[in-house]
Amino acid sequence: MIPHAQSLKDKRREVRGLKDHIRSKFNASVAEVGYQDKWQRTTLAVGLVGSDKHLLESTAARI
């Protein structure tokens, strides 16, 4: 939820910042996969790849 967004432009700015933060902090792939045309909602998909299952699960839990 993005309750303070008053336009799609506001929403895109917030979502871009969140995606950039997740990418840089967790080295994860992030995509907006739902509600692209709604001002105050979004759905993000996050992808993690690695060989250590426990590390991946720990990282996913932190996100």
Quick check: 49 pLDDT over 90?
Answer: yes
**Is the residue at 35 inside a domain?**
yes
The helix/strand/coil state of 32 is strand
Q: Cα(17)–Cα(61) distance, rounded to whole angstroms?
A: 20
Model pTM score: 0.85
Q: Cα(52)–Cα(33) distance, rounded to whole angstroms?
A: 26
User: Residue 1: which pLDDT band, with cuts at 50, 70 and 90?
Assistant: confident
Q: Which domain holds residue 57?
A: 8-62
The helix/strand/coil state of 28 is coil
User: Residue 5: which pLDDT band, with cuts at 50, 70 and 90?
Assistant: confident
**Is the residue at 42 inside a domain?**
yes
**Is the residue at 24 inside a domain?**
yes
- Work out how many domains the chain is built from and give that number: 1
**Is the residue at 1 inside a domain?**
no
**Is the residue at 56 inside a domain?**
yes
Question: Average pLDDT in the 48-61 region?
Answer: 97
**Contact between residue 44 and residue 16 where contact means Cβ atoms under 8 Å apart:** no
**Contact between residue 26 and residue 57 where contact means Cβ atoms under 8 Å apart:** no
